[in-house]
Amino acid sequence: MLTPDLSARVGSLELINPILAASGTFGYGLDLADFCPPENLGGVVTKGLSPRPRAGAPMPRIAETPSGMLNAIGLENIGVDVFCRDQLPALRERRAVVIVNVFGESAADYLTVIERCEAEIGIAGYELNVSCPNVSSGGIEFGHDPRTLESLTSRCRAATARPLWVKLSPNAPDLVATARAATAGGADAVSLVNTIRAMAVDPFRRRPELARTFGGLSGPAILPIALRMVHEVHLALPELPVVGLGGIESGLDVVRFLLAGASAVQVGTATFRRPGAMLEILAELETYCRDQGVARVASLTGAMEAQDG
């Protein structure tokens, strides 16, 4: 019986499998360890970290939608110092692959987080969050303007030799232009997509369901949009590794992203309903490869056949 090789590579970073926990959905890597040990995943992308603790948005900040979920958390986090002191040692002991998601309201904030993390071992790389649609200042401005994004990426690139990913915004006017800017600035890979700006309305209370009115839509509803965007960036920049995310619920969804051009994926919203979802998805991916005679999961990346005509 075929035993498929599930390993994946994103630039220089080697992963035991292509499934990573998406930022903001798996805490700091240990919250769901009883259901899904982080060391069994390709990697864990931490909740976004800022230089200082951040309170986030007022309640309510989460709302269910048809085939998805809205959130306006406002990047609440414990701050980089507390993460390095209280969370990272346990992740390091487990030998989990840790990608630190970095957020800031200025370029200096991003650099502060990276410089603090550079003093630590057990961090595999960084993901710059330039795409959060539910904060009033910071990342999203970087993610919408290619020149600003290139400058930010270049400054962060100069601050570390570790792998550097940029999480792009599906709300940007020109996604390919921002991907090019991230590459020009020295990014090793891009992650896409983040949540899509949206809203929900309570018809009985006659008011928005989120305190901030607008939030980010995630879940199965955005999967076709995310696939299209991953494929567009892959076609435009075939040498650029892409980490795909958006609505993944099954092993077949992972295959869809890989075929569209992703080298690895991140799973997020599915874990809210099924804390062990990523291990289930990984098992389904292995079954697919075995049944389809796929010896190496990495061979699926970009292997989608074009339609005739």
Query: What are the tens digits of pLDDT across the range 260-284?
Result: 999 999 999 999 999 999 999 999 9
Q: Is the pLDDT of residue 141 over 80?
A: no
pLDDT band at 144 (very low <50, low <70, confident <90, very high): confident
Share of the chain above pLDDT 90, in %: 90
pLDDT band at 107 (very low <50, low <70, confident <90, very high): very high
pLDDT band at 131 (very low <50, low <70, confident <90, very high): confident
Q: Is the pLDDT of residue 135 over 80?
A: no
- Between 134 and 41, name the one with better pLDDT: 41
Average pLDDT, the chain: 94
**Has domain 8-300 been given CATH number 2.70.98.40?**
no
The reported pLDDT for the residue numbered 1 is: 81
| Interval 189-197 mean pLDDT | 95
pLDDT band at 137 (very low <50, low <70, confident <90, very high): very low
Q: pLDDT tens digit string along 221-265? A: 999 999 999 999 999 999 999 999 999 999 999 999 999 999 999
Domain ranges of the chain: 8-300
| Interval 115-140 mean pLDDT | 80
Share of the chain above pLDDT 70, in %: 96
Q: Is the pLDDT of residue 8 over 60?
A: yes
Indicate the pTM of the whole model. 0.95
The reported pLDDT for the residue numbered 133 is: 53
What positions carry a catalytic annotation?
Answer: 132
Q: pLDDT tens digit string along 66-77? A: 999 999 999 999
| SS3 per-residue string spanning the chain | CCCCECCEEECCEEECCCEEECCCCCCCCCCCCCCCCHHHCCEEECCCECCCCECCCCCCCEEEECCEEEECCCCCECCHHHHHHHHHHHHHHHCCCEEEEECCCCHHHHHHHHHHHHCCCCCCEEEEECCCCCCCCCHHHHHHCHHHHHHHHHHHHHHCCCCEEEECCCCCCCHHHHHHHHHHCCCCEEEECCCEEEECEECCCCEECCCCCEEEEECHHHHHHHHHHHHHHHHHCCCCCEEEECCCCCHHHHHHHHHHCCCEEEECCHHHHCCCHHHHHHHHHHHHHHHHCCCEHHHHCCCCCCCCC
| Interval 286-290 mean pLDDT | 98
Q: pLDDT tens digit string along 22-49? A: 999 999 999 999 999 999 999 999 999 9
